[in-house]
Amino acid sequence: MSAPLSADQLLKALRAEGVKVVEYKSWRTNNREGHGAWGPVNGVMIHHTVTAGTATSVELCYAGHSALPGPLCHGVIDKEGTVHLVGNGRANHAGLGDGDVLRAVIAEAADLPADNEADTDGNTHFYGFEAINLGDGKDPWPAAQLLAIERAAAAICRAHGWDEQSVIGHLEWQPGKIDPRGFTMDSMRGRIADRLEDEPPITPAPAGAGKPATAPTYEPFPGAGFFKAGRTSPIITAMGKRLKAVGCGRYKVGPGPAWGEADRQSYAAFQRSLGYSGDAADGYPGPDSWAKLHVPNV
């Protein structure tokens, strides 16, 4: 249970986690003040927009519509992985949900109860992120978008000292909701847990220091011939962890330091997520796809 982050604190937390952020219009003062409480806050809720197109989706979430005034969330996550901040304060995103679920979130319980009641105002207690997706089970979830969801949720959890159990989907909160559709919240919570454990945030330079924020450093492409049977290297372990983090891991055990079929299949899944196909998605890293995976230095 925490006091809400200020606009500056939210922006700093997101950027420190490596999130690409766009500040949309007057997001800092766009809220539902006077229509209910904002805080104490207890968690982060993930939604899908049921819309297509970044510009129209962001404006809709900023302004709302006649039946539901905006903002409809705090941030809109586009297909490219950019978070567009549209609100700061109370937002119309969660609605009435199950008080038992809220209590489980507060307790950071490993298992959520069924959301079979609508007796608690979620707009008071949850930050909300809308990810642009039609929600039809066919619209894809690009790796960059899933990574941005992971990072944005982890940023808020880190700022409040919460763990991954403080992140839920709309479908886990309000009876009858299905969002987000296309990935499981258990898998997303797993990614957030890994990030909170393994990846510290970027440290911004002190104000007036004249130094840029410390940027993450990534492993340079080791060459196509590096990835072959018999190769053992911590770079392969780091690569496998990143593949799991972006939702492309195909490992039953591991990953480990020895290049193997599970690594190849996982990398092929990552290549397909980038739009490659055929021989270009054979599971063997190339310089372009490697640059987009962001394997940390080992």
CATH number of domain containing 92: 3.40.80.10
Does residue 18 register a pLDDT over 70? yes
Same domain, yes or no: 112 and 187? yes
Same domain, yes or no: 257 and 189? no
Q: How far is CA 23 from CA 82, 83, 282, in A?
A: 11, 9, 39
Q: What's the pLDDT score for residue 230?
A: 87
Q: What's the pLDDT score for residue 38?
A: 97
Same domain, yes or no: 163 and 235? no
Mean of the per-residue pLDDT values of the chain: 92
Same domain, yes or no: 167 and 273? no
Q: What's the pLDDT score for residue 211?
A: 45
Number of folded domains in the chain? Answer: 2
Kindly state the DSSP code that residue 208 receives in the 8-state scheme. T
pLDDT, one tens digit per residue, over 117-173 is 999 999 999 999 999 999 999 999 999 999 999 999 999 999 999 999 999 999 999
Does residue 293 register a pLDDT over 60? yes
If one compares 126 and 223, the residue with the highest pLDDT of the two is: 126
Same domain, yes or no: 71 and 155? yes
Does residue 198 register a pLDDT over 80? no
Mean pLDDT of the region 213-217 = 55
Report if residue 102 sits inside a domain: yes
Residue of 73, 246, 54 lying closest to 132 (CA atoms): 54
Report if residue 30 sits inside a domain: yes
Q: What's the pLDDT score for residue 245?
A: 87
Q: Which domain holds residue 266?
A: 224-293
Range with lowest mean pLDDT among 31-35, 47-51, 72-76, 249-253: 249-253
CATH of the domain at 274: 1.10.101
Same domain, yes or no: 79 and 158? yes
Q: What's the pLDDT score for residue 59?
A: 97
Does residue 208 register a pLDDT over 50? no
Same domain, yes or no: 132 and 235? no
0.75 exceeded by the pTM? no
Same domain, yes or no: 73 and 152? yes
Q: What's the pLDDT score for residue 200?
A: 59
Distance CA 239, CA 118 (A): 43
Same domain, yes or no: 192 and 71? yes
Same domain, yes or no: 276 and 169? no
Strand partners, 169: 46
Q: Band of the pLDDT at 1, cuts 50, 70, 90? A: low
Q: Band of the pLDDT at 209, cuts 50, 70, 90? A: very low
Same domain, yes or no: 163 and 271? no
Report if residue 79 sits inside a domain: yes
Q: What's the pLDDT score for residue 189?
A: 96
Amino acid in the structure at residue 144:
A
DSSP for 1-60 reads -BPPPPHHHHHHHHHHTT-EEEE-TTGGG-S-TTSS----B-EEEEEE-S---HHHHHHH
Distance CA 101, CA 178 (A): 16
Does residue 203 register a pLDDT over 80? no
